[in-house]
Amino acid sequence: SIRYMESCGGLIKNSQGQASHVIVVSRDITERKQAEEEIRNLAFHDALTKLPNRRLLNDRLAQIMAASKRSGCYGALMFLDMDNFKPLNDRHGHDVGDLLLVEAARRINSCVRGADTVARFGGDEFVVILGGLDVGRVKSIAQAGIVAEKIRAILAEPYVLATQQESGAESTVEYRCTSSIGVALFLDHESRPEDILKRADMAMYQAKNGGRNLICFYE
């Protein structure tokens, strides 16, 4: 494992004023470094799912918008909301709801590339940012649609959530929870980050109002 050391030293001179010895004092500061790293993670990541939080999401979106300006390729932002999450919380409690959110985060991550961003926006809402799509809008819509459909399909699969009762006995809760997904494309800096988020959010509500478990693009 990696250890972090902090060292300081000095010269010892003899009676003629010449350097004769070097004294170095070192101490292990690994725990301090680990604590600093944990604080940084808490500032930029959601404590439950370990996904980027809103703060880091904004930074990632700015990066992908800058990359879009350089390449001339479209990017896409998806706003996801779990459709029937509240009844699970009401019936089985927040601990079980948290298990579903962690599993949902894992499933979403499995559908995207390493360079893409999956963030927890809050509650049962997630945001996905795709960069480096096509230079053409029509093809970019098709590319984003493929990813959105993969996410929609995998989130609609049953969740088997293992819980522990107060007695110590383990039990499982099986639950189905679909998602409504809104997608907004962006190119270069033609829009502000908050406008892109708002458009994807509007498209998500269109999907929800259209019957849920749907994908809608902002037009």
* Active-site annotation, residues: 124
Q: How many residues comprise the chain?
A: 219
Beta carbons within 8 Å of 128's beta carbon, 6+ residues apart: 77, 78, 80, 108, 112, 116, 117, 118, 119, 147, 151
Buried b (16+ CB within 10 A) or exposed e, 59-71: ebbeebbeebeee
Indicate the DSSP class of residue 32: H
Q: Residue 73 CB: number of other CB atoms within 10 A?
A: 18
| Distance separating alpha carbons of residues 134 and 105, to the nearest angstrom | 26
Is-contact 126 119, C-beta < 8 A? yes
> In this structure, what are the phi and psi dihedrals at residue 70, rounded to the nearest 5 degrees?
-70, -40
Q: H helices then E strands: how many in the chain?
A: 6, 9
